A and B are shown apart, each in its own frame.
Chain A
Amino acid sequence: MKQRLMVAAVGSALVALTSQVWADGSDAFKLRGFGTVGVVHSSTDLADYRTGLNQPNGAGYSHKYDFGVDSKLGLQADMKANDILSGTIQVISERRYDKTFKPTLEWANAKIQATSDLAFHAGRMALPVYMVSDYRKVGYANPWVRPPTEVYFQVPFSHLDGADAVYRLNTGDVSTTFQAYGGRTKNKIPTSAGMNESEGRRTLGLNVTSEIGSLTLRAGYVRTRFTYQGPATNTFFNSYRALANGVDKLAAGAAQVAAGAQSAGQQPLPAPILTALSNTATSAAAAAADATATAQSVRSIVERYEADNVPASFVGFGALYDPGGWFIQAEYTKRTNDSLVADTTAWYLSGGVRVGKFTPYATYSRIKTDSELTSNGASPISAPAISNLPAIPQLAALQAGIDQVNGGVPQINQSLGLLNGGLNVLLFAGSTAQRNITLGVRWDVMKNMDVKMQWDQLKIDNKGAGYTLNNNQVGFDPGKKINLFSLAVDFVF
Chain B
Amino acid sequence: MKTPLVRATLIMLLLAPLAKADIAVIVSAKSSAGNLTADQVSQIFLGKSNSFPGGGQAVPVDQSEGAGPREEFYTKVTGKSAAQVKAYWSKLIFSGKGQPPKEIGNDGAVKKLIADNPNMIGYIDKGAVDSSVKVVLSQ
Contact residues of A with B, CB < 8 Å? Answer: 27, 30, 32, 34, 74, 76, 78, 88, 90, 107, 109, 111, 116, 121, 125-126, 132-135, 137-138, 140-141, 170, 175, 211, 323-324, 354, 357, 444, 447-448, 450, 492
Contacts and interface: CB of A to CB of B under 8 A. Distances in A.
B32 interface: no
A74 B95 CA distance: 12
Given A170-B49, A324-B84, A354-B84, A34 B90 contact: yes
Contact of A34 (B65, B80, B94, B96): B94
Given A107-B96, A141-B94, A447-B65, A175 B48 contact: yes
A132 B95 CA distance: 9
B6 interface: no
Contacts of A116: 50-51
B81 A135 contact: no
A76 B93 contact: yes
B87 A109 contact: no
B83 A32 contact: no
Nearest to A140: B90
B102 to A, nearest CB: 8
Contacts of A138: 90-91, 94
How would you classify the secondary structure of chain A's contact residues: helix, strand, loop or mixed?
Answer: strand
Interface residues of B, number: 23
Contacts of A492: 86, 90, 94
Contacts of A107: 96
A90 B94 contact: yes
Nearest to B94: A138
How would you classify the secondary structure of chain B's contact residues: helix, strand, loop or mixed?
Answer: loop
Given A170-B49, A175-B48, A324 B80 contact: yes
B93 A32 contact: yes
Contacts of A141: 87, 90-91, 94
A357 B83 contact: yes
Contacts of B102: 27
A125 B90 contact: no
Contact of A135 (B50, B79, B94, B99): B94
Given A133-B95, A134-B94, A135-B90, 11 more contacts: A27-B102, A30-B99, A78-B99, A109-B96, A111-B96, A116-B50, A125-B96, A134-B96, A137-B94, A324-B84, A492-B90
Contact of B91 (A78, A109, A135, A324): A135
A172 to B, nearest CB: 11
Q: 10 closest Cβ contacts across the A-B interface?
A: A134-B95, A444-B83, A141-B90, A141-B91, A324-B79, A138-B94, A88-B96, A135-B95, A135-B91, A135-B94
Contacts of B2: none
Nearest to B86: A448
Nearest to A177: B97
A447 B86 contact: yes
A140 B82 CA distance: 13
A169 to B, nearest CB: 12
Contacts of B93: 32, 76, 78
A170 B47 CA distance: 13
A34 B86 CA distance: 12
B66 to A, nearest CB: 8
Contacts of A133: 95
Nearest to A327: B84
28 contacts: A30-B99, A32-B93, A34-B90, A74-B94, A76-B93, A78-B99, A90-B96, A107-B96, A109-B96, A126-B96, A132-B91, A133-B95, A134-B94, A134-B95, A134-B97, A135-B90, A135-B91, A137-B94, A138-B90, A138-B91, A140-B87, A141-B90, A170-B49, A175-B48, A444-B83, A447-B66, A448-B86, A492-B86
Contacts of A135: 90-91, 94-95
Interface string B63-97: 00110000000000001111110110011011111
A354 B99 contact: no
Interface string B17-57: 00000000000000000000000000000001111000000
A170 B44 CA distance: 13
Nearest to A138: B94
A121 B81 CA distance: 32
Nearest to B96: A88
Nearest to B51: A116
A144 B80 CA distance: 19
Contacts of A74: 94
A424 to B, nearest CB: 42
Nearest to B49: A170
A239 B101 CA distance: 61
**Residue of A135, A170, A324 most packed against chain B (CB within 10 A):** A135
Contacts of A450: 83
Nearest to A443: B83
A256 to B, nearest CB: 67
B45 to A, nearest CB: 15
Interface string B94-115: 1111010010000000000000
A11 to B, nearest CB: 15
Contacts of A357: 83
Given A134-B97, A141-B91, A323 B48 contact: no
A342 B84 CA distance: 38
A78 to B, nearest CB: 7
Contacts of B87: 140-141
Contact of A211 (B48, B50, B79): B48
Contacts of B81: 324, 354
B72 to A, nearest CB: 15
A492 B85 CA distance: 13
